[in-house]
Amino acid sequence: MIKIHQFTFNAYQENTYVVYDQTGEAAIIDPGMYSGEEQNELVAFIRDNKLKPVLLLNTHCHLDHVFGNKFVFDNWSLKPQFNKGELYILQAVPSYAPQMGFHYELSPEPEIFLGESGTVSFGNTSLELLFTPGHSPAHLCFYSKKANFVIGGDALFYGSIGRTDLPGGNHQQLLSSIREKLFTLPDDCTVYPGHGRSTLIGFEKANNPFF
């Protein structure tokens, strides 16, 4: 049984996910906690559910999705895993975060980079990598065929799509990524996005104004 817990963190109302199964092993995806209070909330959930985080995954490396990378590393010795095309996005964060009024704790860099396809695994759970660039240059989504959900980062939202005006963004590329990688998933597949409420693939195919 795969379970997902969603937190909403930081000034950008970013969704951080803990995905875990009956083994107690867990993946932390896009840790956005910024304040001590938010950090404590994550730690308490992991402690109270007796979880063992074994993977730190980033869909992409914009500021609001990596605020907590250093905290996760400090607490569970996990370095982030993401596609190598996002590395320069991560490396740029220290230069712009202070200008935006944020204190940024430097994220460690990956020892393992994720490909454009393949899987990541923990416990009895396997997540398929879906390469969905457009919002950022090497954005990934994480799909569970078994549990019929996708952690969608900032590619597809309820009634919307990710912005494409940031460095490495490309509007047409994002539309293609969604059509080819996400809209080919089952209509009843749940999308857990990087911001806002969850949605269904079928609902977005029928109602998303960008398509």
CATH of residue 179's domain is 3.60.15.10
Alpha helices in 8-110 (DSSP H): 36-48, 63-66, 69-76, 87-96
Q: How many domains does the chain have?
A: 1
| pTM of the predicted model as reported, rounded to 2 decimal places | 0.98
- The answer to whether the CB of 134 falls within 8 A of the CB of 117 is no
Cα dihedral 79, 85, 87, 89, rounded to 10, equals -130
pLDDT at 83: 98
pLDDT in tens, 107-131: 999 999 999 999 999 999 999 999 9
| Domain coverage including residue 63 | 3-207
Q: pLDDT per residue over 62-83, tens digit each?
A: 999 999 999 999 999 999 999 9
Confidence grade of residue 19 (pLDDT, cut at 50, 70, 90): very high
Q: Which amino acid is at 88?
A: Y
For residue 199, name the pLDDT band (cuts at 50, 70, 90). Answer: very high
Name the token pair of 118. Answer: 């393949």
103 Cβ contact partners less than 8 Å away, ≥ 6 residues apart: 97
SS (H, E, C) 10-29: CCCCEEEEEEECCCCEEEEE
Which pLDDT score, from 0 to 100, does residue 166 have? Answer: 93
